[in-house]
Chain A
Amino acid sequence: AQSVTQLDSHVSVSEGTPVLLRCNYSSSYSPSLFWYVQHPNKGLQLLLKYTSAATLVKGINGFEAEFKKSETSFHLTKPSAHMSDAAEYFCVVSEPGNTGKLIFGQGTTLQVKP
């Protein structure tokens, strides 16, 4: 069965410093992996998607993630945090087939301090 584990429930950084949000996945096949962001009282917005084309995936707002099969990881990074990055971040894996099921991690709350 597919699953994702977000290793930190809460991450706090200062504005202008790098961001690292960690995610490990479990999958019996080559997975499709995503990072979504959720701002307070808002829906989910797709940051980036990995579908086996390239291991380093660039997303919106300066975020990127690297797929490492040997480590079963898909960590999200950003070189310099901005106050507007404060939000909840979800690492997601899709279930194979045509069920359309996305499996979400528990989420990581990113706090950005001025």
Chain B
Amino acid sequence: DAGVTQSPTHLIKTRGQQVTLRCSPISGHKSVSWYQQVLGQGPQFIFQYYEKEERGRGNFPDRFSARQFPNYSSELNVNALLLGDSALYLCASSLGPRDTYGYTFGSGTRLTVV
């Protein structure tokens, strides 16, 4: 079975632009979470979606948004990019919304804002 797949793997954008990152969860998993990992730090929670509804939101500005599709894949959108948005963006999938189900992480999308 395929694991969590994220695309693209690397991306370079200019300040002020918009970016869309994509995540396909493990087959059968209905929950997708997004994390931002700035170089040298631990990942920070951005969103969790379960059954196409937002279940949790971290302390990120409204420039960050996400959605989940009927097939449970997800997109993370970031508008008006800032240099500080440069980071590794990780997607995690699980069967349900709670940690008891366990999370599987993808390899991430490396976003560089110049």
- Are A104 and B42 touching (Cβ within 8 A)? yes
What chain A residues lie within 8 Å of B44 (beta carbons)?
104
User: Smallest distance from the beta carbon of B93 to chain A beta carbons, Å?
Assistant: 10
* Docked complex Cα distance between A51 and B101 (Å): 11
What chain A residues lie within 8 Å of B33 (beta carbons)?
100-102
Q: Which residue of B lies closest to A107 (CB)?
A: B42
Q: Which of B41, B98, B104 contacts A107 (CB 8 A)?
A: B41
Total contacts A to B, CB within 8 angstroms? 70
* Docked complex Cα distance between A42 and B9 (Å): 11
- Are A100 and B108 touching (Cβ within 8 A)? no
Contacts A43-B107, A44-B105, A45-B105; is A98 near B98 (CB within 8 Å)? Answer: yes
Kindly state the interface size class of chain A when it binds its partner: 20 to 34
Does any Cβ of A come within 8 Å of B8's Cβ? no
Q: Which residue of A lies closest to B43 (CB)?
A: A104
- Are B103 and A102 touching (Cβ within 8 A)? yes
* Docked complex Cα distance between A42 and B4 (Å): 12
Q: Which of B4, B55, B104, B106 contacts A100 (CB 8 A)?
A: B55
Q: Which residue of A lies closest to B91 (CB)?
A: A43
* Docked complex Cα distance between A89 and B35 (Å): 16
> 26 A-B pairs, CB-CB below 8 angstroms?
A42-B107, A43-B106, A43-B107, A44-B43, A44-B90, A44-B105, A46-B102, A46-B103, A49-B99, A49-B102, A51-B99, A51-B100, A90-B43, A98-B97, A98-B98, A99-B48, A99-B97, A100-B55, A100-B97, A101-B56, A102-B45, A102-B99, A103-B45, A104-B44, A106-B42, A107-B40
